[in-house]
Structure 1
Amino acid sequence: MKKIAVEQSVGKILCHDITAVRDGFKGRAFARGHVIKQEDIPNLLDMGKKYIFIWEDQENEIHEDDAALRLASMAPVKGTFYSGPYEGKMTLTAAVKGQFRVNKTLLSKLNTIGDITITTLPDHFRVEPDMKLAGLRIVPLTTEKKQIEQAEVICAQSPIPLFTIKPYQKLKVGIIITGSEIFNGRIKDRFEPLIRKKLSYFEADILDIVICDDIPDMLQSIASTFIRKDVDLLIFTGGMSVDPDDITPTVMRATGAEVITHGVPIQPGNMFMLAYLGNTALIGVPSAAIQHSTTILDVVLPQLFTGERFYKADFVAMAEGGSCLGCEICHYPICTFGRY
């Protein structure tokens, strides 16, 4: 790469994109490969460009566009597409709905290599088609080839890819609504419309919704019926607090399921419970779900529908960012709540 004065650049080939920022516009004014013309000189000077760079091949040097293309090629992601390079950057975009996963350890290693910068949406982010997921580039116009080669080796040796999109699976779901006041018709149930609405985002085959009295044997019998039907997800609502007559956690344990957590460092939804019985996930949803628009339920459903299991460490990680701000207008998941 060679630096020359703008006035001497007519007929030369620009080796990098030039970005203009003016009158509310920010974008590419001149593209890499553009042949500089006499009429371009005033525009370049108006943009504060006294010098431009033309490309001269160097054995150990790589251009930003070529570097970005190689960074993208080392991180292929099913269900996405790359676009670019534009202004030296490759952009990763979702083509499907699902949960975006980031290998945070690998990402950190790559971003410590000299001039490489890779920026992404958060791990576990719920994504839609056409949502931009990541940008990959080097900071200067050129870098040493060995930096890109180092990144390629690190990615090739990693057993877990840098990025993945976990698509949602179709799950068979059973729902048990607990509470004598609902069972006896003293109050109207508010859980069923809420759970239906939350599940409507995913491919949920709801087998049945059963309202149950606060009687352990009745609740146990209904739960066993759902389990015999091989439901993928069994949702219990109500009876999740620490009161002596809140029987739901006791019955969930009585199924023989392995309890992953009862109580989580996240609010609202502290009393949430998750257990696994074989391939069936059992969750206990506390009453906070009907009092707040966004709770722990919104955080866990995407991963449950990918089929990826939760572990205690996942819930421990939710503590940082686990306090909902209770905004007047909820923008979840575009906020800090529920990161893990």
Structure 2
Amino acid sequence: MKLIKTEDAVGHVLCQDITQIIKGVTKDAVFRKGHVVTKEDIPVLLSVGKEHLYVWENDENMLHENEAAQILYEICRGEHMHGTDVKEGKIELVAEIDGLLKVNKKRILAVNSFGQMMIASRHGNVPIKKGDKIAGTRIIPLVIEKEKMEKARQTGGSEPVFQLLPFKHKKVGIVTTGSEVFKGRIKDTFGPVIKGKLAEFPTEVLGQTYVDDTKKNITAAIMDHIANGADMVVCTGGMSVDPDDCTPGAIADTGARVVSYGAPVLPGAMLMIAYYQKDGKEIPILGLPGCVMYAKRTIFDLVLPRVMADDKLEKEDISILGEGGLCLNCEVCTYPNCGFGK
């Protein structure tokens, strides 16, 4: 930092805010720290009494905050997102599509641990709408060592901190079990709930099949939907551990790879996730617990966005949901802007 005459400051970077005070009109910074002085700025600077200015001295080993901010942005940016204009070392990332946000937690921690730079983001594995803000990044000081920024760039290799996986169009088959519904003794209230949640994503419901509590009939209904081109099958009813609850066994009898039966989430402990192999791809089969029918938000809301983005779920992905897996059933639901599933 050095002090120079204002008339000689063109092209230099200010090291301080320059405040303009006009009684009854304004009291604000007319130029911010980090501003690059232009010829047109000189009369304004002189008018606010600044005949000398503190400016940044060029140093080949240092970067201006805006140059460093661009590097931080490049570390963060994945596909389907863009940055705002850099301002005072800050760039925000904005979604260009609807999709599932994935966060490289190890890398964001590594970058934030360097100090003098920061990344603040939304939680990962949540649905994002086009135009939503994904993250904010900032360089803290006016200047920062080039070496530090290069070390930050090297953390985690070439993988960006953020990825936005687009939701895929899926044809969905629904299998509703239960003799009471199959025989028309009660009206099905599960199907409309499932269809409503599926409608939040690019889906086409191929049909809803009603079957009794016979395991082989449930298995056959699942396989019929797959044979008819379903990219995903959702099963409702018969998911508990009672002797006459046959849906988990029926899903297993399809030959699908069972990832998990049970989840550390309330509501939603009796969830089942399996993948059926067909023509080189894995078709998800979800067995949904009864709570999905009446609770505002459940395990289904946590796994559905990931399934829709073809984000393959494994046992660990379910087990890790225990912390944050308790829905508080708030009177006014704000999900996903709450702690559930985070």
Question: Same fold, TM exceeding 0.5?
Answer: yes
Contact 1:14 1:52 in 2 (8 A): no
Query: Cα offset for 1:14?
Result: 5.1
1:9/1:320 CA distance change after superposition, 3 Å: farther
Query: Which secondary structure does the structure 2 equivalent of 1:33 belong to?
Result: coil
Partner of 1:70: 71
Q: CA RMSD in A?
A: 2.3
CA distance in 1, matches of 2:29, 2:187: 59
Instruction: Spell out the pairing of 1:79-118 with structure 2 (5 A cutoff).
Output: 79-118=80-119
Q: Deviations over 1:229-270 (max 9, x none)?
A: 242211000111121111111101111111111110001011
Partner of 1:147: 148
Give 5+ residue unaligned stretches, structure 2. Answer: 20-27
Query: Cα offset for 1:78?
Result: 1.4
CA distance in 1, matches of 2:316, 2:227: 30
Counterpart code for 1:149: E
Instruction: Spell out the pairing of 1:16-165 with structure 2 (5 A cutoff).
Output: 18=17, 30-31=31-32, 32-34=35-37, 35=41, 37-40=45-48, 53-155=54-156, 157-158=157-158, 160-165=159-164
Give 5+ residue unaligned stretches, structure 1. Answer: 21-26, 43-50
Counterpart code for 1:210: T
Instruction: Spell out the pairing of 1:1-340 with structure 2 (5 A cutoff).
Output: 1-2=1-2, 12=9, 15=14, 18=17, 30-31=31-32, 32-34=35-37, 35=41, 37-40=45-48, 53-155=54-156, 157-158=157-158, 160-278=159-277, 279-339=282-342
Q: Deviations over 1:168-192 (max 9, x none)?
A: 0011211001111111222211111
Contact 1:16 1:88 in 2 (8 A): no
Partner of 2:25: none
1:3/1:67 CA distance change after superposition, 3 Å: farther
Partner of 2:24: none
Counterpart code for 1:310: L
Counterpart code for 2:142: L
Query: Cα offset for 1:53?
Result: 4.3
Query: Which secondary structure does the structure 2 equivalent of 1:301 belong to?
Result: helix
Counterpart code for 1:247: C
Count of matched residue positions in the alignment of Structure 1 and Structure 2: 320
TM-score in terms of structure 1 length: 0.87
1:19/1:75 CA distance change after superposition, 3 Å: farther
**What's the % identity of the aligned pairs?**
35
Q: Deviations over 1:90-142 (max 9, x none)?
A: 11100110011111111111111231211111111211111111122221111
1:292/1:41 CA distance change after superposition, 3 Å: farther
Segment of structure 1 superposing worse, 73-82 or 300-309:
73-82
